[in-house]
Amino acid sequence: MTHHDYIEANRRIWNLRTEAHKQSEFYDVETWKQGRNSLTEIEQRELGDVAGKKILHLQCHFGQDTLSLARLGARVTGSDISDNAIDYARQLARETKLKARFVRCNLYDLPQHLSGKFDIVYTSFGAIGWLPDLERWAEIIAQFLKKGGRFYFAEFHPFVWMLDDNMEFIQYAYHNDGVIATEQTGTYADRDADIQYTDYGWNHSLSEVLNCLLGQGLQLEYLHEYNYSPFNCFAKTVKGPDGNFRIQGLEDKIPMVYSLSARKR
């Protein structure tokens, strides 16, 4: 299979996942419609005041976080590969009367579907593992940033993706060692969802992420690492008094999330 074949297979998977996610407690769409902000504390703190900012959200899923940014006063555009996700994002925008634009396409094809420059390009949590080519990813980020614009990124730490599904031993390479095909049932947001599929992903080290961004002339402002996950989406997690999740037996011993900010010179 080619990279295009893998990406197309994943598009169909995300169509399936979206239907499960819309009804899941994990995304809790009903309380979000009533005003809950879906952005994590990390994102809200590090993004800062976004009022009036023009923001491009890459791999936006069904737009909860995109529309949460709109609630904070940002002018937002979201992009995702899933037809079902973008359809639902547009529905949520209509229902909540939040102003947003949503573009359905493969991330690598985004320049053929969108023009303009943005103050902030933003992407988060569970995104880049679906991308085989980070050099092209970084090119697209740089293309859509205005001069002086900022790329903000929050993601699960590559150390976590080395572990097996039960979080018991190291199964996968830290660096990108090619496509990883895994048989799945259910989804991280609903483990009992009646769906089965094979998904295709790629592990990306911190050095790969940083070097691809630096190679596009972006200037790193900071890199932060966190020893917890804001989301209960891994096996064997325990909830701490701070409301965040850690792997039982590895509490405070491993990085689970990182974030970075990089500026276009």
Domain ranges of the chain: 3-264
pLDDT given for residue 235 in this prediction: 92
Q: Evaluate if residue 119 carries a pLDDT over 90.
A: yes
Enter the pTM of the model: 0.96
What's the mean per-residue pLDDT of the chain? 96
Q: pLDDT-based confidence at 212, cuts 50/70/90?
A: very high
At 182 the pLDDT is 93
Mean pLDDT score, 216-227: 98
Range 3-264 classified under CATH 3.40.50.150: yes
HSE, side-chain direction, 13 A CA sphere, residue 177: 10
Q: Which two tokens stand for residue 148?
A: 């002086």
CB-CB neighbours of 11 under 10 Å: 19
| Share of residues in the chain with pLDDT > 90 (%) | 97
Q: What is the mean pLDDT of residues 189-208?
A: 94
User: For residue 1, what pLDDT band results from cuts at 50, 70 and 90?
Assistant: confident
Q: According to the model, what pLDDT value does residue 97 have? A: 97
Please list the residues that pair with 56 across neighbouring strands: 77, 121
5, 11 contact by CB (below 8 A) = no
